[in-house]
Amino acid sequence: MDNTLNFYQHPLSDNQSKNIGKNTKIWQFVVILPKAQIGENCNICAHTLIENDVKIGNNVTIKSGVFIWDGIILEDDVFIGPNATFTNDLKPRSKKYPDKFLSTLVQKGASIGANATILPGITIGHYSLIGAGAVVTKDVPPYAIVVGNPAQVIGHTNRD
């Protein structure tokens, strides 16, 4: 661990941001662009990309193989499972970019299972749970459990 930093950065990571909170861990093969903001006590696992217009709260876990694109906000205590996929453009075309990418908000305490796909411009509610492999096409209410393609509410959870 580099004692000049308040966070751990694996030597095989490419962190260009100075906006990293204390006690955060950044593992190998992670790329973080310069304007990204990451809170305290986060765990950013291997093979992850975090773009510029991204805000990540405190106590967030991002498992391996996740790309956090411009316009994505992860509030405190969020869990993102391995290979979960975020998108930020509803009509992507090669070399044609929107003036502004759609924003996706994952609210406090929400968990997203492995291989779930999250379409852009939606809100995932507080403490909701997205099942592995779900395709989320619309807002998810707080405390909802959603599964399937397209994701449908099958129950509710609490803060635990």
Q: Name the residue range of residue 42's domain.
A: 1-160
- 3-state class (DSSP) for residue 105: strand
DSSP 96: B
Q: Is the pTM of the predicted complex or chain greater than 0.85?
A: yes
Read off the CATH number of the domain in which 111 is found.
Answer: 2.160.10.10
Burial class (CB in 10 A: 0-12, 13-18, 19+), 17: middle
Tokens at 89, concatenated: 């453009």
Query: Which pLDDT belongs to residue 2?
Result: 46
Give 51-73 pLDDT, tens digit per residue.
999 999 999 999 999 999 999 99
Query: Which pLDDT belongs to residue 99?
Result: 86
Query: Which pLDDT belongs to residue 79?
Result: 98
Query: Which pLDDT belongs to residue 4?
Result: 64
Q: In DSSP terms, which residues pair with 129 in a beta bridge?
A: 111, 145
Contact 10, 47 (CB under 8 A): no
pLDDT in tens for each of the 160 residues of the chain?
444 679 999 999 999 999 999 999 999 999 999 999 999 999 999 999 999 999 999 999 999 999 999 999 999 999 999 999 999 998 889 999 888 889 999 999 999 999 999 999 999 999 999 999 999 999 999 999 999 999 999 999 987 7
Contact 32, 16 (CB under 8 A): yes
d(CA 153, CA 160): 18
Give the list of residues 6+ apart from residue 125 with CB closer than 8 angstroms, or none.
107, 110, 139, 140, 141, 142, 143, 144
Contact 151, 136 (CB under 8 A): yes
Number of domains, the chain = 1
Residues present in the chain in total: 160
- Alpha helices (H) in the chain, listed in sequence order: none
Residue 123 CA, chain-centre distance (Å), reads 12
